[in-house]
Amino acid sequence: MPVESGSSAASRQAKQKRKSHSLSIRRTNSTEQERAGLQREILEGQDSKLPLPLRTNLLDLFGQIEREFENLYIENIEPSHSTSQLSQKLKTTYKASTSKIVSSFKATTSRAVCQLVKEYVGHRDGIWDLSVTRTLPVVLGTASADHSAMLWSIETGKCLLKYVGHAGSASGDQTAHIWRFMVQLPAPQSVADITQTPCDDDVDFSDKDEADGDGDGPNECPSVRTAATTLRSHQGVVIAADWLVGGKQAVTASWDRTANLYDVETSELVHSLTGHDQELTHCCTHPTQRLVVTSSRDTTFRLWDFRDPSIHSVNVFQGHTDTVTSAVFTVGDNVVSGSDDRTVKVWDLKNMRSPIATIRTDSAVNRISVSVNQRIIALPHDNRQVRLFDMSGVRLARLPRSNRQGHRRMVCCSTWCEDNPSCNLFSCGFDRQAIGWNINIPALLQEK
């Protein structure tokens, strides 16, 4: 009687195993029509608010997951497969399947319209910050590392006025400047004075400034060289400034680890806000109350309360693991903070022990802003992206970067201007330009 070699026996067993596995898969596939019919019965018998195509797609995806688990189970009932191998395969399959589900959701619900409307080009170095005036006429302001600040016509994208009174990056000379100006807006608006018409000695209407560019664009606008008021008390770079409600006081944040509260009329230092362990990165004031929030590289942000003239309280919040790049107030009782730890957190002022929502991203977050009406958070990132989220942490949109649109380097800051019909969001970055966007997010998408 012939004796079968060990290798031949192993080969025969492997063939039988593959044959058995193939029969199992065919038996699984033979029930596809039964599964589809059962899914239709489930869909008809359930009261769901999801659209029928979305529900069908979800059931198909979950069916794929079930079949993958079934095949894995058949493969791993053999004693030769260890529990750890089964666990690893299950994890891999689960991760791949859930990724399909997430991609399906994104494709189904993405109805936000985000369009680039206008580019504001004229700075010779990166733009650190930008803002929109809170009173008429509404203009866009930018502060750059080229030692200048500019005012822009939102509609035309042209520079209206250039401030060149700083001796360092606005403001690397350790001071904050308050300056008055006059701007000529496009028709139908006329010449308007936002605060006070400057003296003739303060405004230079020539285009002979050595710091200007190549003879077009910014050269055509007047420049201001002298500040009406200079706020001096910091021993380091002034990285941010904001007006306290009422406009009679201003707060500044510095790399000297302090924030200063000034009386604008007298230029006197009212309070020095000390306590941060490292350089400050941002400061923001509440739109209707005498509250200030400061951010720092020490991973904290602090809430300063000046509502009671006799008591100036401060609260420290430790919700991040890296530099807090900004913390801003929203209309109501919320604070939103962003960080280099790639998270954004939403806080309730009435209970600041833990965030009510956390947004996790793939890149460090810079100076965020929150819209007043729609309560949408705009996140500028180190990776050149700008993303939009609602207050509950749901991603709504990402601003386009195709066809050479969008920022080409790190995005430093964002700000909203919801009353403007064309550009309701602005962003700026190290590519030396500011961009005006038109954001239209349906209310239905925000509710989801």
Indicate the domain borders of the chain.
10-109, 114-447
Q: Which CATH architecture has domain 114-447?
A: 7 Propeller (2.130)
pLDDT higher at 9 or 109: 9
Residue 338 pLDDT > 60, yes or no?
yes
Total number of residues shown for the chain: 448
The whole-model pTM stands at 0.70
Percent of the chain having pLDDT more than 70? Answer: 72
Distance CA 173, CA 231 (A): 11
Give CA separation, 112 vs 20, 72, 373, 395, 446, in Å: 50, 40, 16, 11, 10
pLDDT band at 386 (very low <50, low <70, confident <90, very high): very high
Q: How does pLDDT run across 293-316, given as a tens digit for each residue?
A: 999 999 999 999 999 887 888 999
pLDDT band at 40 (very low <50, low <70, confident <90, very high): low
Q: Which two tokens stand for residue 391?
A: 């207050």
Q: How does pLDDT run across 200-228, given as a tens digit for each residue?
A: 334 443 333 433 444 444 446 889 999 99
- 348 exposed, middle or buried (CB, 10 Å; 0-12, 13-18, 19+)? middle
- 318 exposed, middle or buried (CB, 10 Å; 0-12, 13-18, 19+)? exposed
Q: How does pLDDT run across 98-156, given as a tens digit for each residue?
A: 444 443 344 334 578 999 999 999 999 999 999 999 888 899 999 999 999 999 999 99
Q: What is the number of other CB atoms lying within 10 angstroms of the CB of residue 264?
A: 17
Distance CA 82, CA 79 (A): 7
Preceding peptide of 295 cis, ω within 30° = no
Helix (H, G, I), strand (E, B) or coil at 128: strand
Work out the mean pLDDT of the chain and round it to a whole number. Answer: 80
pLDDT, residue 100, reads: 42
Q: How does pLDDT run across 14-25, given as a tens digit for each residue?
A: 555 555 545 444
The owner of tokens 């650190």 is 128
